[in-house]
A and B are shown apart, each in its own frame.
Chain A
């Protein structure tokens, strides 16, 4: 019987090389590297799955995070992807809000983009320490709520939180701007050395602010009438 497909007998299909496949493949490779850095950070800094927020632990964790992410070529989308991977994949064993926040902050600070938007409103856990040391020229927008220590040690960048932030927001910040669209917790601006904090909702209490300004809605509350920390508004 005649083989009507005779001319195709020597055809060996090359594996599909679709652009989308390449994108997915390269995105997965980047994510693997980011994940690896986070795991290394946990190994070093949270051996007992406990992490105490202290000045020196934060600095040490950040330095480690810097070291791991320096070698990765990533984009803002990869950071957002990582935030979701923290909760949604089994590949990342633990979400410890402190180191996770330090690591995400380092990723943001070293990213190529000047403006980064992280859509975190779907996350069940509020991540601490987001915006740590955000440098001048960077704008970080968080869609959703953040945990404690949001924007601490801010170094001139602009941090916008579309939802609420918890306690110690802007603590030790040296310059820049923090905008919280909704509410903010206690110790806001503790040992703040410069910059501005704007709050669209309520502030539960201010910390001991050294230098800087705090506005609630249209009112400037620091420097102003406030004499005592943790005054309830």
Chain B
């Protein structure tokens, strides 16, 4: 474990949540260690300040898992987190999500904004985001994308924040989350049924959330959030109470939580981790398959593959849309988080292979024939995550077959960019053609 012991602290929080708050079965394995994807990815979302979409059946802990994780990582009592959640329903308004006019001041002819807790605290949880109309979904995600919350002519800037949004599977009361909005989520994970035996234990212990409650600190925090002091000063005061709550957690539960400076340091440590050459080449290969079209230059959702295309065996032939520029960012961010947590020095292929399915699952639009072909296959994951895992396995097989050749092609590409009079290396994968395109663009 790292010398400052942060990784150990995170793993202790993971264990505590697993054993006391969110009973689960591990469903993913990374380098021989088994994890529950919902807790692991929520921890990484909190620490890496990402955006996570949690899907699942009603009542299977989508929201509570996010609440527990963020309470322990951000040292915020559960009551405050509950009080700052946005719940998705069609009548939800900007005033309840972001802020409203200060009516007292408005009566006096002054314009001032009363910001919601949601806009102010770093943990943002949107319950049932797909019950929100698309415009409201967009409003939240715009705010979270930039960290800016604007109302009237005022603005507050969140320096540190993460987003958890939950979504039930489609039913009569849900709207779809439109593709551009879905793309803004870094990862999608399922909160799964833990099995009848663990579920039975959950029913026996109904008051488990009291462990993370603290009425006094909750009142103090509410008081600060409601106060009229500038937002920057509020943050400092919130941090003071949070630290006190962190000490309370350590005394009562034996859990060491993270102060703001700890979280900043963790982020810096994660940011410093880079992909090794295999991880980089593999990620490029994956991105190439998710964006390449030999006929039309790139994937476009409005265009169909040509009959008898040479690249029929690759992912590009199975999908409709093109990978966005947010995808590699999500892969890298979460792979950094995982690498840091496992205390590895570099991001390698295993990290990428573990994370990639969760970054792809909600972003890929599969062709109908692929969906109907694979819908009935035996699986343990929800269909989109299953398909994404299959896709990553297929690409990693292809990578294994030609990793050296591919790295050589990339190395030659680099030398050509530096001015060496070489010819790009040929190969049977979309990435070789993409390398050629980059080289041609440079030559022109």
Contacts and interface: CB of A to CB of B under 8 A. Distances in A.
B408 interface: yes
Interface in B396-416: 404-405, 407-408, 410-411, 413-415
Contact of B411 (A4, A12, A14): A12
Interface string B255-278: 000000000000000000001010
Contact of B417 (A5, A14, A16): A5
Contact of B414 (A8, A13, A16): A8
Interface residues of B, number: 18
Given A8-B277, A11-B277, A3 B408 contact: no
Contacts of B390: none
Contacts of A9: 411, 414-415, 418
A3 B404 contact: no
Nearest to B280: A7
A21 interface: no
Most chain A Cβ neighbours within 10 Å, of B405, B407, B414: B414
B438 interface: yes
Nearest to B442: A1
Interface residues of A, number: 13
Q: What's the dominant secondary structure at chain B's contact region?
A: helix
Nearest to A2: B417
A6 interface: yes
A11 B408 contact: yes
A9 B414 CA distance: 5
A5 B411 contact: yes
B410 A8 contact: yes
Q: What's the dominant secondary structure at chain A's contact region?
A: loop
Interface in B225-259: none
B418 A13 contact: no
Interface string B426-441: 0000000001001000
A13 B413 CA distance: 13
Contacts of A4: 413, 417, 438
Contact of B413 (A8, A12, A14): A8
A5 B404 contact: no
A14 B277 contact: no
Given A1-B442, A5-B435, A7-B280, A14 B414 contact: no
B417 A11 contact: no
A18 B130 CA distance: 51
Given A3-B414, A3-B417, A3-B418, A8 B438 contact: no
Nearest to A6: B414
A9 B418 CA distance: 9
Interface in A1-45: 1, 3-9, 11-14, 16
Q: What 5 A-B pairs come out closest when comparing CB atoms?
A: A5-B414, A3-B417, A8-B410, A5-B413, A11-B411
Interface of A: 1, 3-9, 11-14, 16
Given A6-B417, A7-B280, A11-B407, 14 more contacts: A1-B417, A1-B442, A4-B413, A5-B411, A5-B413, A5-B438, A8-B277, A8-B281, A9-B411, A11-B411, A11-B414, A13-B405, A14-B404, A16-B404
